Homo-oligomer: A and B are copies of this chain.
Amino acid sequence: MKPGNTFREESDRERAIFEAGIKLGALYHQWVGTPVSQESAASVETAIEKAVILQPFVEEITVRLDRFAMKKNVFGYSELSGLMFDAEIVTRVGFSYCRAALAPDNGYPLMRILECHEIASLSDH
């Protein structure tokens, strides 16, 4: 790397952002390829949510799968693909929260940070 500034200690906010990225990347690659249909989609949403909430630093997770994107193959079902995901996660490290999302954007299953939030700690008063 070229000269510049190096930071070796990340903030809670940065760690919350990092954890949100980890969880969205993990969720995507764990579940892509699962056989799915409009009838079974709810069970997959529930299973993903219950799996993700187990992981450290996760405060909230909601997963919705796009039923309209579930085109049936010759045997009448689909496979879970990246563009079917509409997921939102909230991670927390210390007093810092990160809200991030996975959703289709320009034909790509985009993951992005929605907002960060830092709660005033008692010691700030």
Contacts and interface: CB of A to CB of B under 8 A. Distances in A.
The range of chain A's interface size is 35 or more
A59 to B, nearest CB: 9
Interface string A1-24: 111111110100111011111111
A2 B116 contact: no
A30 B21 contact: no
A62 interface: no
Interface of A: 1-8, 10, 13-15, 17-30, 32-37, 39-40, 43-44, 46-47, 50-52, 54-56, 73-77, 79, 81-82, 95, 97, 100, 106-108, 111-120
Given A6-B118, A43-B43, A55-B75, 19 more contacts: A3-B120, A4-B120, A5-B117, A6-B115, A6-B116, A10-B116, A14-B14, A18-B21, A18-B113, A20-B21, A21-B24, A21-B25, A30-B34, A32-B32, A34-B47, A34-B51, A35-B51, A37-B54, A40-B54
